[in-house]
Amino acid sequence: QEEAQAIDQELFTEYKFSVDQLMELAGLSCATAIAKAYPPSSFTSQPSVLVVCGPGNNGGDGLVCARHLKMFGYQPTVHYPKRPSKPLFEGLTTQCEKMGIPFLPEFPTEAAFIDELYGLVVDAIFGFSFKGAVREPFGSILSTLERVTVPIASIDIPSGWDVEKGKADGLQPDMLISLTAPKKAAMHFAGRYHFLGGRFVPPALQEKYALNLPPYPDTDCVLQL
C-alpha cells in the first residue's frame, strides 16, 4: 500500500501529472477492460451496468468509467451517495449527467433487484488508500453486493478488502482492474478476469520501483493478466 502511495506521490510531485489526467486514463482503462470481458452483445437483454461510486478517488475513477461506458454503447446508471465538494468530482458528475447517465438517489435494497435490472456492477467504492472501518452507507451497500449474482468488476481493490491481505468473507468480484500495478491483495483475487490498466507509468518509475510489468499490447490501454 505504501509503495502504491509513493508512486502516486511521485507522479504528482515530480512528474507534475494532475489528478484529472491520471483519473481520466484510469477510468478509460476500466471501461476498456469491461468492454473486452463483457461486450454489449454478451448481455442477455440491454447492456445495463450499475456503477457504485465511493467518496474518494476510486469513486472518481468510477465516474470516468461510467462516461466511457456510455460512449462505448452501454447503459450505465450511477449511485454516488457521498460526493466530495471539489471541482474535480463536481465536474465529473456534471459530465455524466449531461450525457444522460441517471443517478440513483437510493441504493436498491435487495440484491435480487440489482440482478434483475443490471447485467454488471462496477465496484468503484474504495481503492488502495482504504484503511479502517467501513462507514455507512457503504457497509449496507457492500452487504447487498456480496449477495448479488451478476458479475462485479472492482476498480483496483475489491471494496472492503484489506489492501494487502484481502478478505475471505468479503466481496468476490468476477473482474479486477488493477491500476498502475497489481496490489498485494490481488493475490487473493479468485475471479475470472484480471486486467492491468493505467498505462501512464514512465519507464524510469517502473524501474525505480521494480514493477516488472508485462508489456501492454501495441497501443492498448489495458492488458489481461
Partner 1 sequence: LPQAFPLPSLPRKAPTVLVVCGPAQNGAIGLVCARHLRIFDYEPTIFYPKRSPDPLYRDFTTQCEKMDIPFLSYVQLINDAYNAVVDAVLGAEAEVGEGREPCAAILATLKHIRIPIVSLDVPSGWDAESGSSGGISPDVLVSLAAPKECARRFLGRQHFVAGRFLPYDVQKKFELNPPEYPGTECVVAL
Chain residues in the site for partner 1 (CB under 8 A): 14-18, 31-32, 35-36, 71-72, 95, 98-100, 199-200, 202-204, 218-219
Smallest separation (angstroms) from partner 1 to the CB of 110: 33
Q: For residue 140, give Cα distances in angstroms to 43, 144, 145.
A: 27, 6, 9
Toward partner 1, which CB reaches closer, 6 or 112?
A: 6
CB of 135 to partner 1, least distance (A): 34
In this structure, are residues 31 and 68 in contact, taking their beta carbons and an 8 Å threshold?
Answer: yes
The CA distance from 24 to 88, in Å, is 11
Strands 120-124 and 75-79, bridge-based pairing: unpaired
**Contact 160/179 with Cβ under 8 angstroms?**
no
Q: What are phi and psi of 75, to 5 degrees?
A: -115, 85
Q: In whole angstroms, how close is the CB of 190 to partner 1 at the nearest point?
A: 26
Which long-range contacts link 92-95 to residues 24+ away (Cβ below 8 Å)?
Answer: 92/23, 92/60, 92/63, 92/64, 92/67, 93/63, 95/63, 95/67
Sequence-ordered list of residues with C-beta below 8 angstroms from that of 97, at least 6 positions apart, any chain: 103
| Closest approach of partner 1 to the CB of residue 32, in Å | 5
Task: Please name the residues in contact with 13: beta carbons below 8 A apart, sequence gap of 6 or more.
Answer: none
Identity at 12, one-letter amino acid code: F
Q: Other CB atoms closer than 10 Å to residue 204's CB: what's the count?
A: 11
Is the CB of 68 or the CB of 194 nearer to partner 1? 68
Cβ nearer to partner 1, comparing 74 with 118: 74
Nearer to partner 1, 62 or 108 (CB): 62
Least distance from C-beta 138 to partner 1, angstroms?
29
As measured in angstroms, the least distance from the Cβ of 66 to partner 1 is 13
Q: Which is nearer to partner 1, 30 or 121 (CB)?
A: 30
The nearer residue to partner 1, 74 or 161, going by C-beta atoms, is 74
